[in-house]
Structure 1
Amino acid sequence: MTPTYQPWYIDLLSILGAFGGWAAVVAVLLHYLSDLHAKRTLQREASHLGQKVADLSHELKLRESAYTKHLELLIRYYEVFYRHYRICQSAANHDAHKFPDGNVVKTRDTFWEKLDAWRAEMAAFEGSARLLLPASLLDLHEESITAFNQFKNVMKRTVEDSAYQADKREAFAKIEDVKIRFETGLRAFLRTEQMVSPK
């Protein structure tokens, strides 16, 4: 009688069946499938989060660029303001300047010579300032224009008596007050501006 051989897997299945092996096979298969599903889910989530990070990074760069441009405009606007402030300050504190070569220049003449250039510079920045400045600083901008105009009206006088000198100093004191409040407000605005923070 010739021995008959069964395929090896028949013997393996008989052994597994004896020891509840089918349950083990099913458990291993389920574990494999759940592990595969978890890995695919993680890959999808990682891809989704990666895209979100890229989008946020792009948005932050745009906001930072916009903030830098706005900051440059505000600084240039303030430089124009401050140049005219210094001309008014010089006119308020001195009637004339004597230079080392002996030349004497009246501060009144300097004021009128530079007034039109200041007006043109301010007109170039006023539109941007109205869009960029918060309401409190925009109010100060309006106050500064009023104060500068009051000083200009005093400078129009032809008689340079004691009343003229007193009114000139008083008009400049208003400009000085606006300047101090404007600088304080501008510093606070630049510290708390949220353009670079996504909301």
Structure 2
Amino acid sequence: MRRASLLLLSFFVVYSVQSQTTWKADPAHSFIQFEVSHLAISTVTGKFTEFSCELEARKNSFEDAKVVAKVNVASISTENLTRDKHLKEDDFFNAKEFPQMSFVSDSFKKVTDDQYEITGTLTIRDVSKIITFPATYSGMITMGDKTISAFKANFIINRFDYKLKWDDTLDTGSLIVGEDVTVELNLELVKK
């Protein structure tokens, strides 16, 4: 009986490992962008050019998938070298002391055919907070020997919650750089 139980347990362990599928973001066809208000009348946009995102799923529907994303903070680009240098300093990201941002999912729920709700821990600098945001599934195709799927997502964070603390103001009292940052994700994932 004990031997049969061990064999059955081994089968389930092997089956669950074999049925796990890994998807990796294609950096040439994926992006992480952000937008924040500037001078209370316009916006500044930027992006991170170096990042990784890996998704593990047991089903092609991606229900209960696990996501791990890592971003190289020093890869920030707003197309302005002076501003980028400031963003890497302690007023904002402090890239030297905190070189990486990360997101690790706790929940990946299918809401409709193409809508998901993702919950997980976002870490910026030394602050980790749980966030929940919607994601849109764009579909899946096969090209040659590659299977590709894609997701898009948007969410807003308050930069002060993550110690991005620069708070200079205009004469009107408005912040030069707004506190709310809109993050936009476009991920093209290749099945491994």
TM-score (norm 1): 0.24
Bigger helix fraction: 1
Mark the structure with the bigger radius of gyration. 1
TM-score relative to the length of structure 2: 0.25
